[in-house]
Amino acid sequence: MANPASYRPQTGEIPTNPGVYRFRDPNGRVIYVGKAKSLRSRLNSYFANPAGLLPKTYAMVHAASSVEWTVVGSELESLQLEYTWIKEFKPRYNVVFRDDKTYPYLAVTMGEKYPRVQVMRGDRRKGTRYFGPYTAGAIRETMDTLLRVFPVRSCSAGVFKRAEASGRPCLLGYIDKCSAPCVKRISPEDHRALADDFCAFMGGEAKRFIGKLEKQMAEAVAELNYERAARLRDDITALRKVFERNAVVLAEATDADVFALHEDELEAAVQVFHVRGGRVRGQRGWVVEKVEDSTTPDLVEHLLQQVYGDEGQSHGRLPREVLVPVAPTNQAELTEWLGGMRGAKVDIRVPQRGDKAALMSTVRENAEHALKLHKTRRAGDLTVRSQALQELQEALDLPVPLLRIECYDVSHVQGTNVVASMVVVEDGLPKKSDYRKFSITGAAATDDTAAMHDVLTRRFRYYLQDKSGQVDESVLNAGRQEPDELEQGPQGLPQDDALLDTTTPAPRAKFAYPPNLVVVDGGKPQVNAAARALADLGIDDVYVVGLAKRLEEVWLPDSDFPVILPRTSQGLYLLQRIRDEAHRFAISFHRQKRGKAMTVSALDGVPGLGASKRKALLAHFGSVKGVKTATVAELSEAKGIGPALASAIVNHFSATGPEAANVPAINMTTGEVIET
């Protein structure tokens, strides 16, 4: 690994002009390309304090052995040159948007004597018109339907030559799905006109052709030519089927690409809907590794560069509008660049309201599902799970295999309703039956580190009790949840199989089964608190790490520097999934607990008065005030209220005073009165 100081250029040597720079490794390969408004300011930021750089940037400057730059005349030129070099060198440290699959296009080879309709993938060819992209099933169905109305040649060159030599068309020619130019049934000029009509229909002029056929059908009916009218009717039905396959989402004149993305700390999923003539003509998707610690506007800029950078464009032609989730960096230069490529104005903007904003929401939802599916497939792969566990063991230098990992997270809102979660992963898969929730009160709820220490102490005291065979009920209850706090199983029953019995010792769920690794959500303070809790209990065979969310750093106890895992490491992906699951589980419990605390009532403090009897009282008297002014005899008339409970209610309100009796039940969030 090179020392950045060994190849750092002198500050005075670097120009202050805008330009593009390249970092090269010892073998001369370009590993990063960037642009800057001021080359001197930007390049100095890489060398001023390498220890303070972000993990990706730190790795890049230490992998490089030289840097070079090129001065350009404007920011627009730097944008163009940066894209050109990224395409040429494919640097490993630049964001590269690659399709998550190869999308097919419907292509018409207008450059041939007899244009051919076909499904194509891969690089674009000169003289060919493209429509799409589509999914594989949809494009085949569309092509088969349209060939009935526009019987353009769809056979390969070999089939065409054989039919031309034999004087007999192929099967499509016999069933009228090809006009058979191979046997001169149609002239080259008329066949090209047919291909032009096919392209015009796919380009958004469907209504013109449908109207023309409807007029011809009416003429055929007037002439009593019902056989021709029936064929035209079937043709109209076929065209409408293709025309209506894509729902109308915007005005017919709308010509736009709608981009949306969903990202986490390591990856981003991108979706784009291609809208032509107000209809969604195609959809594409990517999942990109965020090898560059860039912001969302930076990602959008790189995305537009790479999608529209090829001369032929990724989907046939540039649209009039490019709708994005956030404005990209260098928006003005990008707009000018795309406008020059299109030969007309291109508007890059963020939709705020209306149909376009609604469509953007749909595209964003697709991106969210795409990222979730990507992570699910990766988590379900046995080989990937094994690789992740091995990478994590080696990176943390642990002497034992990671058969069981537990992750803890603390959740609260400004110190109220403090809760914690424990999630469990065995052999790389979640074991939901072992998930646990903790309510935290008292001194432990003062801050996150105290809460983490309390949770780990409670959990591992239980482990020690189980290990020694001595069951201390107070310790057992401290580490367990009430029934309404347990994770529910598939049948809606608590996962904990402990039974309350006064005569027979009850079997307990294996809450005390020890992990090989404890992961806490947080950095150095949380890790040290967790390690201190284990040390106080004398446990030295359980290892502790923390995952800090901002930079995905892995912290070890009593360490001044974090462990930086490669951003493409399966071990890091595993830690991230566990941490996110613990966070989700803690948030769910916190919201549940907070919701229960939202509603208060003057009747809550009455001993022996449960929810059903409170409802009975309110139904009988109509309000809390009516309950407060009632006598023991009147209270006893309510359903389920006996003389003893009625006396307790009267005594409660007598002790708390009339002011408390007049306090209604309210929702603490909205302030809405629930009981009057």
Task: Copy the structure tokens of residue 582.
Answer: 């613990």
User: What is the rounded CA–CA span in Å between residue 401 and residue 407?
Assistant: 17
> Dihedrals φ, ψ of 412, to 5°?
-165, 170
CATH superfamily for 396-499+507-587 is: UvrC, RNAse H endonuclease domain (3.30.420.340)
* Mean pLDDT, residues 639-646: 84
Is residue 214 very low, low, confident or very high in pLDDT (cuts 50, 70, 90)?
Answer: confident
Q: How far apart are the first and last CA of the chain?
A: 73
CB of 666 within 8 A of CB of 674? Answer: yes
Task: Say what the pLDDT of residue 656 is.
Answer: 58
Task: Say what the pLDDT of residue 600 is.
Answer: 57
Greater pLDDT, 55 or 285: 285
> Read out DSSP for 205-263?
-HHHHHHHHHHHHHHHHHTT-HHHHHHHHHHHHHHHHHHTTSPB-S-TT-EEEEEEEEE
CATH number of 4-89, picked from 3.30.365.10, 3.40.1440.10, 1.10.10.10, 3.40.50.10470: 3.40.1440.10
Single out the residue of 337, 347, 342 nearest to residue 256, CA to CA.
347
* Average pLDDT score over the chain: 76
As to burial, measured by CB atoms within 10 angstroms (0-12 exposed, 13-18 middle, 19+ buried), residue 47 is: middle
* Mean pLDDT, residues 55-78: 81
Task: Say what the pLDDT of residue 474 is.
Answer: 46
Q: Residues near 267 by Cβ (< 8 Å), separated by ≥ 6? A: 287, 288, 289, 290, 371, 374
243 pLDDT more than 60: yes
* Mean pLDDT, residues 448-455: 85
Task: Copy the structure tokens of residue 268.
Answer: 């981003």
Task: Say what the pLDDT of residue 322 is.
Answer: 92
181 DSSP 8-state letter: G
> Dihedrals φ, ψ of 281, to 5°?
-90, -20
State the CATH architecture for 599-667: Orthogonal Bundle (1.10)
User: What is the rounded CA–CA span in Å between residue 46 and residue 36?
Assistant: 13
CB of 90 within 8 A of CB of 98? Answer: no
Q: Tell me what percent of the residues of the chain surpass a pLDDT of 70.
A: 77
Query: Each residue of 124-180: pLDDT tens digit?
Result: 677 888 776 565 556 677 777 788 788 889 888 888 889 888 988 888 888 888 988
Query: Each residue of 322-379: pLDDT tens digit?
Result: 999 999 888 888 888 888 888 888 999 999 888 888 888 888 887 887 787 777 766 6
Task: Say what the pLDDT of residue 362 is.
Answer: 80
Instruction: Name the strand (E) or helix (H) holding 130.
Output: strand 129-131
Beta-bridge mates of residue 521: 547
Single out the residue of 464, 288, 427, 278 nearest to residue 355, CA to CA.
278
Domain ranges, ordered by start, for the chain: 4-89, 105-243, 255-376, 396-499+507-587, 599-667
122 pLDDT more than 70: no
From 162-166, 231-235, 441-445, the region with the lowest mean pLDDT: 441-445
54 pLDDT more than 50: yes
Q: Determine the Cα angle at 541 with ends 535 and 547, to 5°.
A: 75
4-89 and 599-667: identical CATH topology: no
Task: Say what the pLDDT of residue 323 is.
Answer: 93
473 pLDDT more than 80: no
Task: Say what the pLDDT of residue 132 is.
Answer: 64
674 pLDDT more than 60: no
Task: Say what the pLDDT of residue 498 is.
Answer: 37
450 pLDDT more than 90: no
CB of 330 within 8 A of CB of 606? Answer: no
Task: Say what the pLDDT of residue 550 is.
Answer: 64
Residue with tokens 């056989």: 227
Is residue 605 very low, low, confident or very high in pLDDT (cuts 50, 70, 90)?
Answer: low
CATH fold of 255-376 reads: Nucleotidyltransferase; domain 5 (3.30.420)
Query: Each residue of 459-468: pLDDT tens digit?
Result: 888 778 776 6
From 220-224, 225-229, 549-553, the region with the lowest mean pLDDT: 549-553
404 DSSP 8-state letter: E
Task: Say what the pLDDT of residue 21 is.
Answer: 92
Coil, helix or strand for 599? strand
Greater pLDDT, 520 or 569: 520
Residue with tokens 């002239």: 187
Query: From the CB of residue 296, how many other CB atoms can be counted at a distance below 10 Å?
Result: 16
From 343-352, 393-402, 491-500, 559-568, the region with the lowest mean pLDDT: 491-500
> Dihedrals φ, ψ of 218, to 5°?
-65, -40
Query: From the CB of residue 601, how many other CB atoms can be counted at a distance below 10 Å?
Result: 18
Q: Residues near 568 by Cβ (< 8 Å), separated by ≥ 6? A: 289, 291
* Mean pLDDT, residues 14-41: 87
547 pLDDT more than 80: yes
Single out the residue of 287, 304, 268 nearest to residue 99, CA to CA.
287
From 159-163, 277-281, 456-460, 662-666, the region with the lowest mean pLDDT: 662-666
User: What is the rounded CA–CA span in Å between residue 659 and residue 209?
Assistant: 79
488 pLDDT more than 60: no
Write the CA distances from 489 to 433, 486, 495, 592, integer angstroms: 7, 9, 6, 17
Coil, helix or strand for 345? coil
Beta-bridge mates of residue 142: none
Greater pLDDT, 414 or 496: 414
From 36-45, 168-177, 294-303, 589-598, the region with the lowest mean pLDDT: 589-598
From 103-107, 280-284, 297-301, 664-668, the region with the lowest mean pLDDT: 664-668
Write the CA distances from 329 to 86, 97, 325, 356, integer angstroms: 17, 17, 12, 22
Q: What is the CA radius of gyration of the chain?
A: 35
530 pLDDT more than 60: yes
10 DSSP 8-state letter: P
CB of 420 within 8 A of CB of 440? Answer: yes
Task: Copy the structure tokens of residue 355.
Answer: 């149909």
User: What is the rounded CA–CA span in Å between residue 348 and residue 329?
Assistant: 11
* Mean pLDDT, residues 510-528: 79
Residue with tokens 């220890």: 51
Task: Say what the pLDDT of residue 476 is.
Answer: 42
Residue with tokens 């999308």: 103
Single out the residue of 28, 569, 7 nearest to residue 266, CA to CA.
569
Task: Say what the pLDDT of residue 325 is.
Answer: 92
pTM recorded for the entire structure: 0.43
669 pLDDT more than 70: no
CB of 34 within 8 A of CB of 329? Answer: no
Query: What number of CA atoms fall less than 13 Å from residue 200's CA on the CB side?
Result: 13
| Longest CA–CA separation in the chain, Å | 109
89 pLDDT more than 70: yes
Task: Say what the pLDDT of residue 259 is.
Answer: 93
Residue with tokens 């409170």: 614
Query: What number of CA atoms fall less than 13 Å from residue 132's CA on the CB side?
Result: 26
Task: Say what the pLDDT of residue 244 is.
Answer: 57
Query: From the CB of residue 427, how many other CB atoms can be counted at a distance below 10 Å?
Result: 14
User: What is the rounded CA–CA span in Å between residue 615 and residue 639?
Assistant: 10
